[in-house]
Amino acid sequence: MNVSDMNLIFLGPPGAGKGTQTKKLIEEFGFIHLSTGDILRQLIRSRDTLGLQAQIYMDQGKLVPDGLILEMIQTKMEKKCGYIFDGFPRTIDQASALDKIVPVDHVVYLFLSHDVILKRLTGRRVCEKCGKEYHIEFMPSSLKDSCELCKGRLYQREDDRPFVIENRLSVYEKQTKPLLEYYHEKLIRIEACGNVLSIDQENIKKIGLSTHKAMSQCCS
Ligand code: AP5
């Protein structure tokens, strides 16, 4: 049974590990990764107009307007199944727009404490060339301030500064957390404070257990 025939959403506060976990599942199962944060940062690196418009919101920890996000996501979707959405949808309007495009099988909700979130985000470093992520304590680069893959310089994201993190967390509470209720029938809850591999195993187990149900809803 091919789990990449379903659509999954990863939901959770900033720093919950959505990017880290979705990238593992993609390596293991071959899903198509749609991370709105990664796509936006790529557009900023290439000086694209949409990216530069979005950067103003991102640097302040605010959400990019729904219209821009939906325009961007639609250009990336060619199939009906096999996607992992990471950081999308983030508002009820985005969720109802997604419902009109593809069916959603499971929504994995990663939750963890405020203290762990702060530690993860303030210690994150990103390669300025290829976008690979590290953490100064939990996943350091063996090349210290350079990327192991492409030797690019590692930098701290503008929105990982403490006062912007607080803003992102409050935006999450107000605008994104209501999605837990919206998706309550599809929700898989995972405590995300453990190590990367144990959370990955729990994801596989919980999503795998529901594979039969997911396949019966999926598109042909
Ligand atoms: P986005 O990039 O999506 O940011 P986010 O949701 O705030 O998520 P993060 O990337 O900060 O955290 P994550 O949960 O992916 O954790 P990660 O795995 O990286 O969005 C950025 C901005 O873009 C938004 O603020 C908004 O402005 C805009 N935007 C994006 N999508 C939008 C949308 N749909 N609508 C409107 N605006 C949108 O891990 C974090 C760190 O912890 C890393 O250093 C990692 O190495 C480390 N780590 C991860 N897991 C573990 C673990 N188990 N143990 C130890 N360390 C770990």
160 falls within a domain? no
Amino acid identity, position 7: N
93 falls within a domain? yes
Residue nearest atom 30 of ligand 1, based on CA coordinates = 37
CATH number, domain with residue 43 = 3.40.50.300
Contacts of 32 (CB under 8 A, 6+ apart): 26, 79, 82, 83, 84
- 167-199 CB burial, b ≥16 within 10 A, e <16: ebbebbeebbeebeebbeebbbebebeeeeeeb
Beta carbons of 105 and 7 less than 8 angstroms apart: yes
Structural domain count of the chain: 1
pLDDT at 186: 96
pLDDT at 112: 95
41 falls within a domain? yes
pLDDT at 30: 85
Residue pLDDT, tens place only, 95-129: 999 999 999 999 999 999 999 999 999 999 999 99
pTM: 0.90
209 falls within a domain? no
Range of 80's domain?
8-111+172-202
- Is 49 near ligand 1, meaning CB less than 6 Å away? no
Phi/psi for 22 (5° steps) reads -65, -35
Residue pLDDT, tens place only, 141-154: 999 999 999 999 99
187 falls within a domain? yes
SS3 33: strand
Residue pLDDT, tens place only, 169-203: 999 999 999 999 999 999 999 999 999 999 999 99
- Is 22 near ligand 1, meaning CB less than 6 Å away? no
Contacts of 188 (CB under 8 A, 6+ apart): 106, 107, 108, 109, 203, 206, 207, 210
pLDDT at 65: 97
Sequential DSSP letters for 38-83: HHHHHHHHTT-HHHHHHHHHHHTTPPPPHHHHHHHHHHH--SSS-E
The chain-wide mean pLDDT, for the chain, equals 90
Distance from residue 216's CA to the centre of ligand 1 (Å): 31
Other beta carbons less than 10 A from residue 90's beta carbon: 21
Catalytic residue numbers read 18, 90, 124, 157, 168
